């Protein structure tokens, strides 16, 4: 590659701040320009970051941009990704990869045809939390994995987000919003899923924006807000997943993995570096486990940095479009299983990404 990968960001909403915070720690990335449908907002962010502010069309045509970081709303993910690829840019986007697998498939085909890379969040799985848990699994510390249990819940994002409408539209809801963190971790741990079953529902509770300029606005709800799924992995592991925007309070564990010789308490996969706990058949008390793998002190942007290093070293990148496509198909299948009360087989598969060794930094490993 011969130098840092030059990045243009499309969409400078709330999540972009986390990426901008970590770019200075990633010397193999260089922020060049930002764009947004709100040109004034793009100009203000550009001034803050000391880069060019542009329209979306101008950024896509920018000769100095190697890769587009797509931080638009989910409904625009596929369109922006395809336009970036057509412009000859690599693309890395926020989750989900697209609203449907039918939208997502052309992204992967076009990237392959053009010899370009597609990456996708979540890259939280590359941090020390999930990677340490994976290292313990791979080392046999809980014996042979048998099952996993996920339970994530909240009352609803309208209680804190200033513009939460998209969370209740296709591409949102607890499954598409929070599901990717857990599903990507489960595939990283146990490999691809071959079939799913599940049930979904939504309450009649009125969703009202609690703060900001839209406070008091009632939101239409066009997605299910409580989802429970059973995932059957090709490896034989069975994962149960419940995600919900309907829970006011809970004591339910978020993420546990069960094996023939112990249990792992897995940290929140929406975070990068929380502590893993282990209980074994010989010592059934949960104890903290020292960091054993993963990018140290990671944050959003590390998946893009890993992609840049993979281009330079001609290896697969970890937060890949193929992994995001498989996770998208899982979510699509769970939605269909809930609607049709049936078991849904998956058609896609994906290899487990390479582990991240302890102490790795994306620009040098």
Q: What is the pLDDT of residues 190-217, one digit of tens each?
A: 999 999 999 999 999 999 999 999 999 9
Please check whether residue 298 lies inside any domain of the structure.
no
Q: Is the dihedral of CA 226, 239, 265, 270 positive or negative?
A: negative
pLDDT tier, 361 (very low <50, low <70, confident <90, very high otherwise) = confident
Percent pLDDT > 70 in the chain is 99
Please check whether residue 324 lies inside any domain of the structure.
no
Q: What is the domain-level CATH number for residue 191?
A: 3.30.360.10
Same domain, 72 and 142: no
Please report the pLDDT score of residue 245 as a whole number.
98
Domains of the chain: total: 2
- Give the domain extent around 285: 125-289
Please check whether residue 190 lies inside any domain of the structure.
yes
Neighbours of 311 (CB within 10 A): 18
Please check whether residue 356 lies inside any domain of the structure.
no
The pLDDT tens digits of the residues spanning 246-264 come to 999 999 879 999 999 999 9
Same domain, 141 and 12: no
Same domain, 151 and 255: yes
Please check whether residue 96 lies inside any domain of the structure.
yes
Averaged over 33-62, what is the pLDDT? 97
Same domain, 172 and 190: yes
pLDDT tier, 61 (very low <50, low <70, confident <90, very high otherwise) = very high
Q: Which residues, other chains included, contact 322 with Cβ-Cβ below 8 Å and sequence gap of 6+? A: 108, 350
pLDDT tier, 156 (very low <50, low <70, confident <90, very high otherwise) = very high
Same domain, 39 and 132: no
pLDDT tier, 126 (very low <50, low <70, confident <90, very high otherwise) = very high
The pLDDT tens digits of the residues spanning 86-106 come to 999 999 999 999 999 999 999
Same domain, 112 and 230: no
Averaged over 8-28, what is the pLDDT? 95
Taking the model in full, what pTM does it have?
A: 0.95
Averaged over 273-280, what is the pLDDT? 97
Same domain, 134 and 115: no
Please report the pLDDT score of residue 314 as a whole number.
96
Please check whether residue 147 lies inside any domain of the structure.
yes
Q: What is the domain-level CATH number for residue 82?
A: 3.40.50.720
Chain-centre distance for alpha carbon 223: 19
Please report the pLDDT score of residue 89 as a whole number.
98
> Of 253, 270, 289, which residue sits at a domain end?
289
Please check whether residue 296 lies inside any domain of the structure.
no
> Of 270, 289, 308, which residue sits at a domain end?
289
Same domain, 97 and 234: no
Same domain, 129 and 234: yes
Please report the pLDDT score of residue 2 as a whole number.
65
**Mean pLDDT for the chain overall:** 96
> Of 54, 88, 120, which residue sits at a domain end?
120
Tell me: pLDDT of 365 over 80.
no
Please check whether residue 349 lies inside any domain of the structure.
no
Q: How far is residue 238's CA from residue 104's CA, in Å, rounded to a whole number? A: 26
Same domain, 167 and 214: yes
The answer to whether the beta carbons of residues 149 and 86 sit under 8 Å apart is no
- Helix axis angle for 77-86 and 101-114, nearest 10°, is 10
pLDDT tier, 359 (very low <50, low <70, confident <90, very high otherwise) = confident
Q: How far is residue 25's CA from residue 36's CA, in Å, rounded to a whole number? A: 24
Tell me: pLDDT of 147 over 80.
yes
Same domain, 264 and 138: yes
Same domain, 94 and 180: no
């Amino acid at each position: 590659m011969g130098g840092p990968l030059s990045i243009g960001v499309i969409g400078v909403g709330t999540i972009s701040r986390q990426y901008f915070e970590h770019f200075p720690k990633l010397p193999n990335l260089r922020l060049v320009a930002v764009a947004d449908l709100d040109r004034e907002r793009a100009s203000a962010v550009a001034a803050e970051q000391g880069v060019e502010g542009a329209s979306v069309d101008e950024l896509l045509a920018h000769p100095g941009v190697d890769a587009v970081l797509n931080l638009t709303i989910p409904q625009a993910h596929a369109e922006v990704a395809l336009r970036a690829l057509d412009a000859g840019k690599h693309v890395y986007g926020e989750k989900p990869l697209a609203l449907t697998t039918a939208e997502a498939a052309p992204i992967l085909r076009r990237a392959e045809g053009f010899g370009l890379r597609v990456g996708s969040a979540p890259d939280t799985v590359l941090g020390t939390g999930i990677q340490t848990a994976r290292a313990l699994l791979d080392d046999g510390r809980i014996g042979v994995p048998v099952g996993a249990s996920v339970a994530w819940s909240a009352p609803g994002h309208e209680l804190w987000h200033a513009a939460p409408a998209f969370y209740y539209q296709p591409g949102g809801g607890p499954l598409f919003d929070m599901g990717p963190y857990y599903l990507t971790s489960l595939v990283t741990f146990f490999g691809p899923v071959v079939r799913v079953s599940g049930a979904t529902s939504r309450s009649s509770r009125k969703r009202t924006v609690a703060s900001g300029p839209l406070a008091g606005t009632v939101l239409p709800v066009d997605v299910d807000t409580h989802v429970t799924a059973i995932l059957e992995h090709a490896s034989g592991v069975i994962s149960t997943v419940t995600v919900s925007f309907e829970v006011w309070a809970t004591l339910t564990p978020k993420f546990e993995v069960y094996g023939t010789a112990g249990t792992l308490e897995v940290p929140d996969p929406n975070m990068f570096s929380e502590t893993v706990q282990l209980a074994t058949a010989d010592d059934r008390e949960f104890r903290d486990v020292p960091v054993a793998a993963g990018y140290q002190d990671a944050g959003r942007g590390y998946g893009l940095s890993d992609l840049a290093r993979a281009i330079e070293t001609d290896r697969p990148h970890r937060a890949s479009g193929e992994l995001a496509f498989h996770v998208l198909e899982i979510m699509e299948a769970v939605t269909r299983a809930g609607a049709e009360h049936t078991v849904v087989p998956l058609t896609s598969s994906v290899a487990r990404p390479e582990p991240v060794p302890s102490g790795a930094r994306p620009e040098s490993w």
